[in-house]
A and B are shown apart, each in its own frame.
Chain A
Amino acid sequence: MISSGSPTDRIVITGVGLTSPNGDTLVDFREALLNGRSGVSDYEIRYVGKTFAGVCRFDELKYQKRRDVRRGTRAGSIAIYCANEALADSGLDWPNIDRQRVGVYIGVTEHGNVETENEIHEIKGYDYDTSVWSHHHNPRTVANNPAGEITLNLGITGPHYTIGAACAAGNAGMIQGAQMLRLGECDLALCGGVSESIHTFGIFAGFASQGALAAHTNAALASRPFDKARNGIVVSEGGCLYTLERYEDARRRGAKIYGEIAGYAMNSDASDFVLPNPDEQSRCMRMALDRAGLAADNIGIVSTHATATASGDVQECEAVRRVFGKSRTTCINNTKSFIGHAMGAAGSLELAGNLLSFEDGVCHATINVDDLDPDCDLPGLVLNQPREGLQIDTILNNSFGMLGINSALIVKRV
């Protein structure tokens, strides 16, 4: 350890572990995004019936015994897979890392709905006799479960908790990790976001009742932010966790550095349970830019949050227009068009989808835009085909969520 933590510490990304509906490694995920390969598939869930979802297909048994998979939750398994992959990618000498100095900060949109629904479904078969309610229910549904499962799996004795931040959770997890490094609470942060949401019927039924669940004849075309024919969200599972370290620590060990956390901001709309507010969203982006010491036209890519709802996309585009409308150097894209909405994992996965643009100079597209909604038209939108031959030095990653939670995270090339 070089620094005990300082507000001026530079924080860098040194490892990425992910599972998404169209790739289980950073390289495979990037390849799918550059080749226009959707991860959305047909899906069926009890009570709701046939719908679409982004389903992950990583090997749970790569880092867990079958007993531990059974004991834990899907979110826990996703988190464990991503954490182990991130550590492997980081090149850290894990057996010799002081586990007391590792912090685990995992963003979640929700947690516990899956297990609660499963138990209610189970006791229904016993005439609602609660004596058959599982003793596993509480350890599976406590809000820290996915982060705690990582610590059990990896023997980490530093702090762990989840950050409940609706669909801004992936960014919030990363911001928490950076803050804890600067406070000296840990020397290595495992952070980002995870989601098991496709295993709860309630999220599908809730979006359907809200008129915000995607419907289409073709799964791969169902998630279509900015398109006139968009009609709602495709729910997805997934996870993306990063190893964050202080720059000096990473440099000393000769680590590969994907990028530096240049700035971030979180704020609240304080205006509506579900409808976004462009005033506060744009303020959030401006705060992040100010803290990074950057102007709008210094940003190479804005990764939008847009979920393909009728009003949400328009509101975010208005917010982005206010900040980036005059920038001629900023590309704007959307990863949900490929993978749907990975909820708590969305922010961290969408950043990962863009991270390799520092190396390959490509901005991945927003797919499924056959007829651009004029209200979503923005200069710099990258539609249907990736834009190549760019010099990308900065990414601003938007993630917003219900109850008016906003986050913007800026990562820059080192």
Chain B
Amino acid sequence: MTRDEIRDEILDILGDIAPDEDLSQLDDSQSFREQMELDSMDFLDIVMELRKRHRVQIPEDDYVNLASMDSTCTYLEPLMKDTAKA
């Protein structure tokens, strides 16, 4: 998947996790938590959805990389470069 495709996938997951949020104005450089109501269980949902949808395994020590859209895409790009778009 390309970086743009990964971004779309994360947006889709966020849409499920945070259905009350308007994601159209999301600032990719800012942390998710500063822009929307997300707690630790929600972040685990992101990890879980990536595991379910793409078999991507994210070790607990790496969760810190999921802070913002930019950091998430940067972290996932090498992991998902051979992943086909669903």
Contact = CB atoms under 8 A, between A and B. Distances in A.
A134 B37 contact: no
A65 interface: yes
B18 A67 contact: yes
B41 A66 contact: no
A120 interface: no
A67 B14 CA distance: 11
Interface in B22-65: 37, 41, 44-45, 48, 51-52
Contacts of A71: 41
Nearest to A71: B41
Interface size bucket, A side? 10 to 19
Contacts of B52: 126, 132
Main secondary structure of the interface of B (DSSP, over half): helix
Contacts of A62: none
Nearest to A136: B41
Main secondary structure of the interface of A (DSSP, over half): helix
Contacts of A126: 52
A71 B17 CA distance: 9
Contacts of A135: 41, 44-45, 48
A70 interface: yes
B82 interface: no
A170 to B, nearest CB: 31
Contact of B20 (A65, A131, A132, A134): A65
Contacts of A132: 48, 51-52
Contacts of A67: 17-20, 37
Given A67-B37, A71-B41, A134 B48 contact: yes
A71 B44 CA distance: 12
Contacts of A66: 19-20
Interface string A121-149: 00000100001101110000000000000
Nearest to A67: B20
A328 to B, nearest CB: 58
Contacts of B18: 67
A141 to B, nearest CB: 15
A65 B18 CA distance: 10
Interface string A35-66: 00000000000000000000000000000011
B38 to A, nearest CB: 9
Interface in A364-412: none
Interface string A280-323: 00000000000000000000000000000000000000000000
Contacts of B37: 67
A198 to B, nearest CB: 24
A65 B52 CA distance: 25
16 contacts: A65-B20, A66-B19, A66-B20, A67-B37, A70-B16, A70-B17, A70-B19, A71-B41, A131-B51, A132-B48, A132-B51, A132-B52, A135-B41, A135-B44, A135-B45, A136-B41
A-B pairs, top 5 by smallest CB distance, nearest first, are A66-B19, A135-B44, A65-B20, A132-B52, A66-B20
Given A65-B20, A67-B19, A70-B17, 7 more contacts: A67-B17, A67-B37, A70-B19, A126-B52, A135-B44, A135-B45, A136-B41
